[in-house]
Copies of this chain bind each other. A is one copy, B any other.
Amino acid sequence: MASPLEKARKDPESVKAKILLVARRVFGVYGFHGTTIRMVAQELGMDISTLHYHWGDKRDLYEAVVLDINHDLGQNLINVEKMIHGLPLPDRLAISIDYMTDYLFAHPEISNLIIFRYFGKTREEAGIDFKVPEFTYDIARSMGLVKNKKNVSSHVMLMVLALMNSMHCFISGEDFFRPIVALSREEYIAETKKALKFIHIPAFTQGSDQKDK
C-alpha cells in the first residue's frame, strides 16, 4: 500500500509532492500548533478539503513532513560519509561542516523542525520521532571517535550533539542572528562555517587523537 509520502516521492511533480514541500516550510516556520491547515492550503492555492483528500488529517501531514526530513537528512549524512572516508580527522570535520552547512542553509526548514522537535512539546504526543540518537552515533562512528562498538562515551556523544546543535542554531536562527552581526546572507554563511570549524575542530582533535595538536 502506497502512502501519500511514497507517492509524493515517486512523482516530484505531483500535487502531493507540492503539498509536502509547502508543508515542510510552513511547519518549519510556525511549528505544529502555530500552523493551521488553512495556512498551508492558502499557500498552495487550494481548498482545505483538497488537502484532506490527499493527505488525511493535520497530524498525518506533519508526521509525513518529519519522516521526509529524516529521510533527506539521513541521505545527506550518507553522502558526506562517503566524501570523507579515509581522510584525517580535521579534514573529515572541515568537509562535513562545509557540506552540511551548505545543505542546511539551502533547506532551513530541516533545522527549524528538528529544533522544534528537540525543545518543544506538542499537546498530543506524536508517535513519530527524529532519528537523532542514530544519527549522532553514526556521525561519531564516521568521525572515527568510537572506540568500542558498543559503548560510545557520553563525552563524545555530547561533543557530536554540540556540533549538530550549533549548526542547526545558526541556520534556524539566521533571521534573528544576522541582524546582530550585520552581515549579508553570503557573509553570514561563510562566517558561520568559519566559526563552527574554529570552535569545534580543535575540540575534537584535542579530545580523541593527539596526532595533531
Q: Which residues of A contact B (CB under 8 A)?
A: 29-34, 112, 115-123, 132-133, 136, 154-155, 157-159, 161-162, 165-166, 169-170, 172-173, 176-177, 179-183, 187, 191-192, 194-196, 198-200, 202-203, 206-207
Contact = CB atoms under 8 A, between A and B. Distances in A.
Contacts of A34: 31-34, 120-123
A202 to B, nearest CB: 5
A119 B195 contact: no
Given A165-B165, A199-B162, A157 B172 contact: no
A180 to B, nearest CB: 5
A207 B203 contact: no
Contacts of A177: 118, 158, 161
A176 B157 CA distance: 13
16 contacts: A29-B121, A30-B121, A34-B122, A118-B176, A120-B120, A154-B182, A154-B187, A155-B191, A157-B180, A158-B170, A158-B177, A158-B181, A159-B195, A165-B173, A199-B199, A202-B206
